[in-house]
Structure 1
């Protein structure tokens, strides 16, 4: 029986977890593109590329009380995201 290094095992588990997280993030953004196409398109334009938009949607934001954008949508606050997107786009231009 081979003695498994706990750090190697943790490293492998973390890699698997990260890969799964990326899959979920991409799937969630695909759903966003289907359901809120205008918003997702503007987010990609405002942030510069789809990868940044995918990450932005998943991260917690202070301006959203620590929630991610999907939680805000689920809470029925789509208009709030549009407001944030407008300010994001105006900041990007400056």
Structure 2
């Protein structure tokens, strides 16, 4: 299947000297992120956050782009936490959040 979008920074990673904190599997929080596209421009996506760096400067996100799954690190400042109910995309393996 051909990828729908190419995201700038996909495949790169931050300095992990502060460690990595993972969220509980299948209970990762949702976020709304602004992503830069390789060809220029930006796009907003609703994602799940798998992990964060120990200093909280970067987040490991994942989302489904019409059947093409993406997972990569982004600066935390590009993300805003949202509830499951607010997300336009629901992970099919989501077990729900206590606050939702």
TM range (shorter): under 0.3
Q: Which has the higher strand share?
A: 2
TM-score of the superposition, structure 2-length normalised? 0.24
TM-score of the superposition, structure 1-length normalised? 0.25
Structure number with the bigger relative contact order (C-alpha 8 A, sep ≥ 6) is: 2
Q: Which has the higher helix share?
A: 1
Rg larger for? 1
